[in-house]
Amino acid sequence: MIHGRDITRTFKTKTGTVEAVRGLNLDVGEGELVAFLGPNGAGKSTSVRMLTTLLPMTSGAASVGGHDVTRAPEKVRRMIGYVGQKTGSGPYHRVRDELIIQGRAQRMSESESRKRANELLGMLELEDLADRDCNSLSGGQKRRLDVALGLMHTPKILFLDEPSTGLDPHSRANLWDHVMRIRRETGMTIFLTTHYLDEADTMAERVMVMDHGKMIADDTPERLKAELAGDTIRLAMVSEGETLIAAEVAANLPNARDIAPNGRSFSVTVRDGAAVMPHFLRALHERGVDIATASVRQPTLDDVFLNLTGRSLRENAIAA
């Protein structure tokens, strides 16, 4: 449904040329739910804006829904729903009017638009707000309206650019409930950008990690975590010298790395920690090591990002 080849985008600024996107290649199949994950400024939004015809590419080629983004932008626009980073509704316009106008702009008839607007007002729990001015809506309500606007013409592909940024946890969860339900019902392809780790982890079937305008990883969250981060086994020993024995034993575990004896505590990173743990503990028991506590920590996508770039996404999110 979405294919990109060697997409680049440069911006000219006062201080020189900025390469926002550098040689992006991507393929998204029909019905997939894919997330672009990366810090602010990684080039996620710029990429989405090029795929949605809002920004011309500097070089490269892309097709969305079978149409070339540069040569047939109008055909692409009819295929896609676009929910931008910022509020899409006009402040002084009424909720229902905005939906109907959006449908008309997407070449639906007046009666189709009215019918679909009512349908979406119901689906996204906006009925009671239908005749209100959009600027009287809460942040979560505005965002639901943005999604409704993007869904008016029942697009095959939905682009969501930072859909939940700035929402409180309750509104975020609520928005996602709606999006996931609509997806189950329609099977549409969804392409989203986010800098929320948990969002990419729990919602997306495939995560593309972006940093400095390049895609640095592309896989399911499970495989990314298994291959690029691994599980961390942590132990606390009863007495100090025993961590050195543990380090010796750990060195024989398959794929063990980051072996870190430290006082009475000990950690090692392995693949599939839950399965390795019983063997590890038995081996330690046979060497006479007394264990006080043991735990396995599953990795997050932040660990993946940290391993790929040496930086944490969390720090980035806070700094930005």
Residue 211 CB burial class (10 angstroms; 0-12, 13-18, ≥19): buried
Taking the complex as a whole, the smallest distance from the CB of residue 207 to another protein amounts, in Å, to 24
Among 29, 105, 177, 298, binds another protein (CB under 8 A): 105
Q: Spell out the SS3 assignment of 166-206.
A: CCCHHHHHHHHHHHHHHHHHHCCEEEEEECCHHHHHHHCCE
- Give me the least distance between CB of 55 and another protein, in Å please: 5
Q: Is 106 in the site for another protein (CB under 8 A)?
A: yes
Asked if residues 161 and 48 have their Cβ atoms less than 8 Å apart, the reply is yes
User: CA 201, CA 47: separation in Å to the nearest integer?
Assistant: 21
Binding string, 144-183, against another protein, x = CB under 8 A? --x--x----------------------------------
DSSP class of 72? -
Task: Find the shortest distance in angstroms from Cβ 80 to another protein.
Answer: 7
Asked whether position 52 contacts another protein by CB under 8 A, the answer is: yes
CB of 272 to another protein, least distance (A): 43
22, 25, 54, 264: which one binds another protein (CB under 8 A): 54
14, 15, 92, 184: which one contacts another protein (CB under 8 A)?
Answer: 92
Residue 285 in contact with another protein, rule: CB under 8 A:
no
Amino acid identity, residue 237? M
- Could you tell me the smallest distance in angstroms from the CB atom of residue 1 to another protein? 17
Phi first, then psi: what are they for 70, rounded to 5°? -80, -40
Say whether residue 132 binds another protein (CB under 8 A): no
| Residue whose tokens read 């239908």 | 130
Alpha helices (runs of H) in 9-158, residue ranges in sequence order = 44-51, 73-79, 95-105, 110-123, 139-151
Q: Which of 310, 53, 75, 36 is nearest to 200 (CA)?
A: 36
Q: Per rule CB under 8 A, is residue 1 in the interface with another protein? A: no
Return the residue of 47, 63, 89, 174 that touches another protein, per CB under 8 A.
Answer: 89
**Which pair of structure tokens corresponds to residue 48?**
């989405």
8 binds another protein (CB under 8 A): no
Is residue 91 a contact residue for another protein (CB under 8 A)?
Answer: yes
Candidate ranges 54-62, 212-220, 283-291, 310-318; the one touching another protein (CB under 8 A)? 54-62
Count of chain residues binding another protein (CB under 8 A): 34
Residues from 67 through 86 that contact another protein (CB under 8 A): 74, 77-78, 80, 82, 84-86
Smallest separation (angstroms) from another protein to the CB of 149: 6
* Residue placing its CB nearer to another protein in the complex, 45 or 269: 45
Of 46 and 300, nearer to another protein (C-beta) is 46
Decide if residue 11 touches another protein (CB under 8 A): yes
Calculate ∠ Cα 279-250-303, nearest 5°.
100
Contacts of 162 (CB under 8 A, 6+ apart): 45, 85, 193, 194, 195
101 binds another protein (CB under 8 A): yes
Q: Which residues contact 7 (CB under 8 A, 6 or more apart)?
A: 21, 23, 24, 25, 47, 50, 57, 59, 60, 61, 62
Query: Measured from the CB of residue 313, what is the shortest distance to another protein in angstroms?
Result: 25
Task: Provide the b/e sequence for 225-264 (b: ≥16 CB within 10 Å).
Answer: bbebbbbbbebebeeeebbebbeebbeebeebeebebeee
Q: Give me the residues paired with residue 265 across strands.
A: 236, 262
Which parts of this chain interact with another protein (CB under 8 A)?
11, 49, 52-56, 74, 77-78, 80, 82, 84-94, 97-98, 101-102, 104-107, 133, 146, 149
